[in-house]
Structure 1
Amino acid sequence: MASTTANEPAHTTFAKENFSKSGPSPSLSPFSRLYDRARPSYPPSAISHILSTLPFPSSPSNRATIVELGSGTGLFTRALLSHPDTRGKVKKIVCVEPSEGMREGFEKATLGGAFGWAGQGEGVEEGGVEVECVEGTFEDVPVGDGSEDMVVCAQAFHWTGSNPLPAVRSIARILRPSAPWALIWNLEDRSVPWIAQLRDAYEQFEAGTPQYRLGLWKTMWDQEAYWDVFGEMEKTEFTWMKEVTEQGAVDRVFSKSYITALSDDERAKLETKLREIIQRGDGKKWIDEKAGTFEYDYTTDLFIARRK
């Protein structure tokens, strides 16, 4: 079970428990490996933009240390590690994740992969990138004050809900002066009719969870406490698509925490509706109709600010 802490917001406990269900271990739940299998990665152009905010190091020894908050199973981490510019700029990535199931998924899918980096406690050859995954939250990050060259939150910061300032203060605490803070989200593209219909079918089950599209996290910009430590956030949008099958599109929906929380009967009814929408396919663009693959369109929103 996911651990809880005193005074933890209800939506934080909800996320930890239900994302653990979609983690990798059959011993944790029947939703084995669902999140890691179904969720999309991130466009290389967005990774390039993030890395461009780091200065190029004068030597391998002074490459950057990055903290990734809410790292999940490592989807963003792997996209970062796969990018050709990362080894030249990044020495270490500290991935912080509150969910036990997600951390287990990270260990298997990311640290157990073949990208040529070392895990916690292992030596790193010159030019390599060290990666570790540790337990923590936005508000409780186990690194020192002013010690980090960048903080990234991928598909995660909306879980701060309408009270993001404790997380803002925590992120400000660990960043060096002038260091960047990046927020990035993938969002299914509503301009495509069948995707809009899909979202209408599943978003009704959000049950008050603080989803990115609701923008509750943006209340930080109304607070002087944000502007005391950070400057203006620059937004960049990227459009792209992922090749999927019908099952892949259904799995994408079922990887959401609030869908994981539904009863078996509710999920069965929802699945029937999702498949009807996908099969009708209003505006669907086939990649290979014989193989059953088609385009799943996304927009990726990237926000970047700097520590004052």
Structure 2
Amino acid sequence: MSSTAASEPAHTTFAKENFSKSGASGLYDRARPSYPPAAISDILSTLPTPSSPSDRATIVELGAGTGLFTRALLSHPDTPAKVKKVVCVEPSEGMREGFEKATLGGAFEWAGKGEKVDEGGVEVECVDGTFEDVPVESGAADMVVCAQAFHWTGSNPLPAVRSIARILRPSAPWCLIWNLEDRSVPWIAQLRDAYEQFEAGSPQYRLGLWKSMWDEPSYWEMFGEMTKREYKWMKEVTEQGAIDRVFSKSYITALSDDERAKFETKLREILKRGEGKKWVDEKAGTFEYDYTTDLFIARRK
């Protein structure tokens, strides 16, 4: 992505503006799921075991949002032994505001701007930047992660790939991870049918536009083949939680108040029917929201 609105693609400006709203309001952080611990374990397994705390890795997370992945990483028991610093890069002002509140607001005693790093703490910072304009020195990253974000490069991912290659040291891993609502569950498929009609050409993960990078010889000059791993899991939600999940999408945020009100009525009808719904606690109104998480890993040549 370009940091200059005048030169960036329209879908990038659209995403920054609308995710800024949901990021600053807290909706995005409240509604979106975290990531399965097994996927975090597999990501961390690509890093070597350091000989001392000072040799631990620097991870650059691009499109960090409000820090949902960051917090999953910081919460993992293997992280303090392997990670010294996480640089979170996010172009949306509202998302960075949400990150400061949710992730740097004291949730992790051992995470901060350098405190106790020599004792095994993890330094965390969130900075303005884009896929193509990353404020990190060349070769400074021991890993790059993009969580629920890389699809916003659209059908022209190579500038971002070159940028990622620039900051990665040789042989270092690059990880892409996405959560996707599981269409095999009828009510989830019906929700997706309802909201996907509003995508308006935005470059969603499921469309796979970002995969065009594999058709370019220059990709293979920089990276090896990406391996894919898949994780099935569920998040416990209420009806309002499922509604919030849909409303956290950028193209739903962009609707007018009247359009959202009418759409919400339709969503609640789907949820009331609840075809294929599995209750966790029917009295409390909680049920399973099924996800598939896709993880792609490649290494810098």
| TM category, shorter | over 0.9
**1:62 Cα deviation from its structure 2 partner:** 0.2
User: Once the 2 structures are TM-superposed, how far is the Cα of residue 122 of structure 1 from its aligned partner?
Assistant: 4.9
Pair 1:100 & 2:75 matched: no
Q: Is the contact between residue 187 and residue 277 of structure 2 (CA under 8 Å) also seen in structure 1?
A: yes
The letter of the residue matching 2:18 is: N
Q: Which runs of 5+ in 1 are unaligned?
A: 25-31
Which range moved further: 114-123 or 59-68?
Answer: 114-123
Amino acid at match of 1:115: F
Structure 2 residue aligned with 1:246 = 239
Look up the match of 1:150: 143
Pairing of 1:183-198 with structure 2 (within 5 A): 183-198=176-191
**Distance change (3 Å), C-alpha of 1:62 and 1:137:** same
Which secondary structure state, in structure 1, belongs to the residue aligned with residue 184 of structure 2? Answer: coil
Contact 1:4 1:13 in 2 (8 A): no
Match of 2:138, SS state, is coil
Residues 86 and 124 in structure 2, CA contact (< 8 A), matched pair in contact too: yes
2:9 is matched with 9
The residue identity in structure 2 corresponding to 1:56 is T
* Structure 1 residue 113 displacement after superposition: 3.0
2:206 counterpart (213, 220, 225): 213
Cα drift, residue 4 of structure 1 = 3.9
Measured in 1, the distance between the counterparts of 2:11 and 2:17 equals 10
Partners of 2:140 and 2:28 lie apart in 1 by 31
Cα distance in 2 for partners of 1:47, 1:40 equals 14
Aligned letter for 1:86? T
Q: Secondary structure at the match of 1:94?
A: strand
4+ runs deviating over 6 angstroms: none
2:228 corresponds to which of 235, 238, 247: 235
Tell me the CA shift for residue 302 of structure 1: 0.1
* Separation in 2, partners of 1:287, 1:145: 48
1:225 pairs with 2:218 = yes
How far is the alpha carbon of 1:210 from its aligned partner? 0.2
Match of 1:293 in 2: 286
Contact 1:117 1:131 in 2 (8 A): no
Which residue among 69, 75, 80 is the counterpart of 1:76? 69
Aligned to 1:28: none
Identity of aligned residues (%): 87
Query: In the alignment, residue 62 of structure 1 is paired with which amino acid?
Result: D
Matches within 5 A, 1:1-308: 4-24=4-24, 32-120=25-113, 122=115, 124-308=117-301
Deviation at 1:121, TM superposition (A): 6.0
Determine if contact 2:87/2:124 at 8 Å carries over to the other structure.
yes
1:303 offset after TM fit, Å? 0.1
Alignment RMSD (CA, Å): 1.0
Normalization by structure 2: what TM-score?
0.97
Q: What is the aligned residue count?
A: 299
Question: What SS is found at the alignment partner of 1:239?
Answer: strand
Q: How far did 1:123 drift?
A: 5.5
TM (normalized to structure 1)?
A: 0.95
For the Cα contact (< 8 Å) 1:182–1:303, is it kept in 2?
A: yes
How far did residue 192 of structure 1 move?
0.2
**What CA distance in whole angstroms lies between the structure 1 residues aligned with 2:260 and 2:57?**
44
Q: How many angstroms does 1:115 deviate by?
A: 1.3
**Secondary structure of 2:107's partner?**
coil
Contact 1:244-1:295 within 8 A present in 2 as well: yes
Gaps of 5+ in 2: none
SS of equivalent to 2:112 = coil
In 2, distance between residues paired with 1:113 and 1:159? 30
SS in 1 for 2:85: strand
Q: 1:46 is paired with a residue of what secondary structure?
A: helix
Distance, in Å, in 1 between the alignment partners of 2:114 and 2:225 is: 37
